Amino acid sequence: MVHILKCTQCESYGLDELCTCGSKRIIIIPPKFSPEDKYAKYRRQAKEQENE
């Protein structure tokens, strides 16, 4: 299965892992929702640190 990837540096989209700017692209699909979210605590901590 092919996923759409997003460049971390220039924010362009594509299917290749290596962007034309030389940076690496990452998968942008969000994780599946689960009511028993194991990582919610860590996401909230990261979001708080980002807002400081």
Q: pLDDT tens for residues 13-23?
A: 999 989 999 99
How many domains would you assign to the chain?
Answer: 1
- Residue 11 domain flag: yes
Return the pLDDT at 1: 64
Distance of CA 14 to the CA centre of its chain: 14
- Residue 22 lies inside a defined structural domain of this protein: yes
Its domain, for residue 8, covers: 1-29
Q: CA–CA separation, 24 vs 8, rounded Å?
A: 7
Residue 14 in domain: yes
CA pair distance 50, 47, nearest whole angstrom: 5
pLDDT band at 24 (very low <50, low <70, confident <90, very high): very high
Q: Residue 5: its pLDDT value, please?
A: 92
Enter the pTM of the model.
Answer: 0.53
Torsion over CA: 21, 15, 12, 40 (sign): negative
Domain assignment present for residue 2? The answer is: yes
33, 9 in Cβ contact below 8 A? no
